[in-house]
Structures are given as structure tokens and as C-alpha cells.
Amino acid sequence: MLLTLLLLTPPALAQSPNEPQREQLLNGLRLLLWERPGSSEVLLKLRLNSGAAFDLAGKSGQMALLGDLLFPDPNTVEFFTDEMAGKLEVVVNYDSTTITMIGKTAEFASMVEVLRNALLATQLTPEVITRIRDARIKTLKDAAIAPSLIADRAIAARLFGDFPYGRSINGTPEDLARVDRSDLMLARERFLNSNNATLAIVGGITRARALRTLRQLLGPWRKSESVVPTTFRQPKAPDARTLIVNVPGPAAEVRVAVRGVSRTDPDYFAAKVLAKLAEQRWQGLTPELVKQPVFARSDSHALPGAFVMGASVNSQAAADSLANARKVMDSLIATPATTAELDRAKTEAIGDISGPLSKPDAMPDPWLDLDTYYLSALQDQMALLRSVTAQDIQRIATRLFKDASVASIVLGETSPLKAALEGRFQYEVLGEMATPTPSPKPPATPGKKDSPR
């Protein structure tokens, strides 16, 4: 079983995965190969190093829709799940598009042929595009969106504005309706290229067999003249007022965020530990949060992401939660972490990273990240987390929080939230016209009368 074989190779926990064999086709496609002699299953994971950050303005979900169009026939997915007891999945995030295929070693050539057809003969006919786009729009409309997810989207939009990280990866029904065939053809032309991708193969395939099949089937995949870089105009500073988002319900969702670090930043691991410390201290200042859903996280992408603190509270506690979140930011700058705080934070951060990496099909991911994020070497993530010091925490806290432009939102019923924030925070209500504040009248000059109108 592939699961058993992969679990025998721990994914970047105490040590790095086994070194893969590296190859590159003439068209620039990079290959990573782990031979598992005798295995009856094989994993193929293709990472295209372009994702939803490249969605056109006003057309969020464009790259996710292109991902849907790679395998538009449901029979293809059924072949992998039913015939081969495997898996076929396309996952799009801001930085990449990843195709995961798990099947039988004997069907390796057929699996690569399915992948070839998706990449070289993508079905972008008007009829197929309309069908797949309508299906994605229907799914979005029918899905019940949890208040916590709405709050996460709202704080991202508040912090980043029109910057790509402020948009939904999956898109909105309104934006997807604007995506047309020419948009998808342009995206395919720009991003679905052999020298913008890395293919990892794990299983009972010999190097000779893999190279022979890949040269035959993926050798004709077109190479682009240049890879589109991940560069965008930086977002403006967020509005300092707290945004109230009206959503019926007894609870309120609170979010506070500042700009964070990128995946390649030297403080990436320190920011992960900082998030766990922030969560601990926020709970200490706001006793209600001990029994409520609460988090702090550092979201990193190819470009600097966001440091977000969030909680579910009652409306009356919203103002205190906002105030205490900012107190936590100040305390992390001024007060070093204790040994107990730091040890607990590191343990929790290690758990967050090792959990996803323990999945069988995630074994190649650290190696694929080398190309996606232009990392110089595969790093032992757990060792780097354990090496974070209290001084590192204060340094990254000062960098992120001192004089930072802070975005904040509260999601819930408008009337009680207004009452809770009144006199403590400046706020605006999403969708309401702002009431203009009258300009102060200049003081009269002594001994001089006002001029007649």
C-alpha cells in the first residue's frame, strides 16, 4: 500500500524526507522521483507555480475555474476513485495549482496520459466552460457559509483591499460570471507551461520507466519564453475604523489583522510561534475566550501575508476583545515570553505544521515548495521552530506590530455592536452611508466681527 510506504518515510518531522532523484526534461519540466520497489501504487503530484494571486481584478475564482476545467469529465475522477481505488484532485491556493493523482503502478502510463490531456488539450470550448462555470457558481450559492468564514473574508478584504490576497480563492458568483473564454485561454497560455512546473512521483516506478513515459507523453508540453513573476503593487494602508458587518445571530466574530511575512522571510518560523503566544495572552486578558473559539495565525504566501487574531464572542464583549487584542500586540513587544509560554507555543506550532505533513500524499510537498518559493534548501521545519528564542519573538513582534496599520472587523447584528463600540472605537457599518462629520468652525479673530454673508 502507498499509505504504508509513505508513512515509513516521515515527512519533514524529526528529519527531512529521503532525497529524491532529480531530473529535468528538455522542455524545462522538473522531476522529483522516489522509487518504492514492489509498491503496487503510485503517487503523481504536479505543482504549477501560479495560483489565485493571478486572478484578474473583478474576476476572482478564475484560476480555480481553470483548475476545474483540467478534468471536466466526472468519469475521469470516477476512474481514479472507483477503478483504481485512488484519487484525483486539483487544489488551487494563492501561490500554486497542484494536481494530485494516486493510482495503480500498472496504470502509470494511463495516469500520465490523463495528465497530458489535461495540460496539452485543455477543454476550453464555450459549452464546457459554461457548464463548469455554472456548476461552480451553483456550488457557491448553495453552500452555507459559516459566519467565521465570512469574517475571515471580510478581514482579508479590509487589510488588503484590491491586492490579490484580499480576494477569495474560490471566487464569488458575481466575479465568476464575468470570467469568459478569453480570460481562461490567456491564463492557460501564461501559466500552464512545462518550465513553470515540478512533477513529483512516489511509488513502484523505476527511474528508467518513468523517464521513458514522461518524455513520450509530457515531452511535447509547451515551454514558455518566460515565467510570470509574482509581483503586484503593494496595498494601501487599511482604514483604521472597525468595520461592522451585519450578520444575524446571537454571537459576534471579531478579527484584528496586520500585514505579515512571506514564506521566504527569515522570520517565517518565529511568526508561527508568535501567533501561538498571541493566542495564549489574548485568552489571559479576555477570560470569555477560554471557552470560545479563538485563534491567532500567521498566513504566509509568496509575498507578505497577514497576521490575524480572531474569536467568537457575544456582542457585549466585542469591544473588550478588540481592545485586548491590541493590548496583546503591545505586550508582545514589551514583555519577553516566559520559558513556559515559549515551550507551549512551540509545541502547538509544531503540531500545526506536522499535522498536514503527516498525510500520505503530502510527502513531496516540502520539496515542491523549493521551486514554488525559491527556497535555497530543504529545511528541517521542526528544528527551526524549536530554535526560536524569546528575543526572536520580540523582534518579529516589534517588526509586525509597532506603528502598524491595523485592520479590524466585527461581524454580527449591527445594533448591539454599535452600542458596544460607541465611545470606544471609531467604526463604520458595511453598506451604510457614512454620516459626514461637520468641520469645526475656525475661532474668531479677537476684535474682528464675522463678515456678513
CA-nearest of 174, 89, 94 to 362 is 89
CA-nearest of 293, 216, 304 to 260 is 304
| CATH annotation of 2-217 | 3.30.830.10
Cβ-count burial of 348 within 10 angstroms (0-12 exposed, 13-18 middle, 19+ buried)? Answer: middle
pLDDT along the chain (453 residues), means of 10: 40 54 96 95 97 96 98 92 91 97 95 96 96 96 91 97 95 96 96 96 96 97 84 87 94 96 96 97 87 93 96 93 96 96 96 86 92 84 93 97 97 96 95 56 47 39
Would you say how long the chain is, in residues? 453
CA-nearest of 349, 346, 333 to 399 is 333
Cα 166 versus chain centre, distance: 11
CB 173 within 8 A of CB 130: no
Tell me the three state secondary structure of residue 47. Answer: strand
For the domain 242-429, what is the CATH superfamily, name and number? Metalloenzyme, LuxS/M16 peptidase-like (3.30.830.10)
CB 198 within 8 A of CB 365: no
- Alpha-carbon distances of 40 from 84, 86, 347, rounded to whole Å: 11, 12, 36
Domain assignments of the chain as residue spans, ordered by start: 2-217, 242-429
Cell numbers for 84, please give them: 483504481
pLDDT at residue 143 in the model: 87
Residues whose CB is less than 8 angstroms from the CB of residue 413 and which lie 6 or more positions away in sequence, other chains included: 246, 247, 248, 249, 252, 315
User: Where does 210-315 show beta strands of DSSP type E?
Assistant: 242-246, 251-259, 294-299, 306-314
CB 410 within 8 A of CB 244: yes
DSSP sequence for 168-236: -SS--HHHHHH--HHHHHHHHHHH--GGGEEEEEEES--HHHHHHHHHHHTTTSPPPSSPPP---PPPP
**CA torsion, points 244, 245, 251, 253, in degrees to nearest 10?**
-80
CB 266 within 8 A of CB 229: no
- Angle 77-117-97 from CA coordinates, rounded to 5°: 70
CA–CA gap between residue 108 and residue 116 (Å, rounded): 12
Cα 281 versus chain centre, distance: 25
CB 333 within 8 A of CB 398: yes
CB 400 within 8 A of CB 258: yes
CA–CA gap between residue 20 and residue 23 (Å, rounded): 10
Let me know if the fold of 2-217 is the same as that of 242-429: yes
- Alpha-carbon distances of 445 from 280, 449, 451, 452, rounded to whole Å: 56, 8, 11, 15
pLDDT at residue 137 in the model: 97
Whether the model pTM is above 0.85: yes
